[in-house]
Amino acid sequence: MPVKFRSGENIPLEMHKARMVQNLNLLPVEDRVKASQEAGNNTFLLKNRDVFLDMLTDSGVNAMSQAQFAAMMNADDSYAGSETFYRLEEAIKEVFSTPFFLPAHQGRACENIICQTFIKPGQSVLMNYHFTTTKAHIMRNGGKVVEIVRKEGLEVTSDLPFKGDLDIGRLRREIETTGAANIAFLRIEAGTNLIGGQPVSMANMREAVNIAKSAGILTIFDASLLSDNLYFIKQREKEFSGTNKSIKDITLELGKMFDISYFSARKLGCVRGGGIITNREDLYNAMIGLVPLYEGFLTYGGMSVREMEALAVGLRESLDFHIIEQTPIFVEALVKELLGANIPVVTPAGGLGCHVNAFAFCDHLPQSQYRAGSLAVAAFFAGGFRGMERGTISEERNADGSERYAEMELLRLALPKRVFTLSQIKYVADRLVWLYENRNLIGGLRFTFEPKILRFFFGRLEPVSDWPQKLAQKFRKDFGDSL
């Protein structure tokens, strides 16, 4: 249960203590502008030594527990038949009740195996919403992505508790019009990443999976952001909130519900790895050959055995409410700070991070100048914190070369578990308030190098004017010699 303050204030409380620290470096604003230019104004290409608060992602950067570090010393590094693998397999059975497990080095490796195995050219994949690498794997295997998230999921401002839910009526219509034989699988993503870390309700997943299975359609669950989604199910869904139903009750039901689940352990479990789990031996056997081809032998699958030992502990820790609440409560704190200053953000507060609405923040810019990308760069200038563009730059161009404009233009400020303090959250809010007051100084970007696939990772851009210098001059005028 949550901790309440006598004053009535809703303040995130860290349910851990820091026993190891990493020093941070905050560059002067002029050096931040220079570092961004050298990185092609792409926050992915910044050197970490130039970043004060790294809010790019939670992937592989969540804080591990002392129990996880201790477990790493117990690893069995045998190439085949490692005891480490069997300990991890046992943890997966305990958490999900699934008997079959295929290890992989991270979530997109799981997607590669799943898409190669189950997609035939021309088939559709139905889902609540896509993730960048998921969509790329589906398209490279000749598939088509069909998104059926409920309409509120694409509304920035809402009080709907589960904006990641599927539109059940549209799911039925898509199956009827497309035909089950032309649908490779139904994919449901927990904590829907690209629309603000918005959760999916258990009731919605049950209904959607039952519809798909009754039509003979394979069901697949992306559990990478499951920890946050578990928190929201327990807090917001009437069936689970205030009842004696545990987090483990939820994970066991999910494990039995879907034909296949997969996850990036860089998110779920707080280590570096991933895995595919299933209840069905036929599906396991269909995928098994691709693991040694792309990942490694079946008892390590591209993961370090030390990471596998830590993952076994991390999965069990994902059943602890006070662990899984740490990201959502800090996201909520940052969202409230920004809303108090009338800064447009995705509501309700979701998981993963705070998502600033660049459509509204930079409404003076044309979408062709990449509002979310421009805001990500400007935020780095303002405070030295690195966020991630989740907008048009993260999309692929249309087949004719024209721009595919994103439905949402977001700056994601990720809050990895147990990493940042409340004072750092307040610092981020302070700098964003200043930036919002000076938002008309933010200019656009254009590509100087644009890869054809996943351009947001390593594409390079330049400002359309000298706006970075003007923003830095205003910062110096307002803050004096402050960093």
What residues are annotated to the active site? 79, 131-132, 222, 267, 390, 456
DSSP line for 180-212: GGGEEEEEEETTBGGGTSB---HHHHHHHHHHH
Question: How many angstroms separate the CA atoms of 416 and 326, rounded?
Answer: 9
Peptide bond into 366 cis (omega under 30): no
Rg (the chain; Cα; Å): 22
Q: Are 311 and 88 in contact (CB under 8 A)?
A: yes
Residue written as token pair 């830095």 = 472
DSSP line for 342-405: T--B-SS--SSEEEEEHHHHTTTS-GGG-HHHHHHHHHHHHHSEE-EEESGGGSPPPTTS----
Question: By C-alpha distance, which of 376, 372, 377, 424 is closest to 394?
Answer: 372
Position 429: which residue type? A
Q: Are 425 and 14 in contact (CB under 8 A)?
A: no
Q: Are 80 and 291 in contact (CB under 8 A)?
A: no
Question: How many angstroms separate the CA atoms of 247 and 253, rounded?
Answer: 10
Q: Are 337 and 357 in contact (CB under 8 A)?
A: no
Q: Which residues in 410-454 belong to E strands, given as ranges?
A: 410-414, 445-449
**3-class SS of residue 446:** strand
Question: By C-alpha distance, which of 2, 31, 137, 20 is closest to 384?
Answer: 31
Question: How many angstroms separate the CA atoms of 262 and 222, rounded?
Answer: 5
**3-class SS of residue 274:** strand
Task: Tell how strand 144-147 and strand 124-127 pair up.
Answer: parallel
List Cα–Cα distances, 2 to 161, 172, 244, in angstroms: 18, 38, 15
Question: How many angstroms separate the CA atoms of 314 and 264, rounded?
Answer: 12
Question: How many angstroms separate the CA atoms of 59 and 44, rounded?
Answer: 13
Question: By C-alpha distance, which of 310, 311, 306, 249 is closest to 277?
Answer: 311
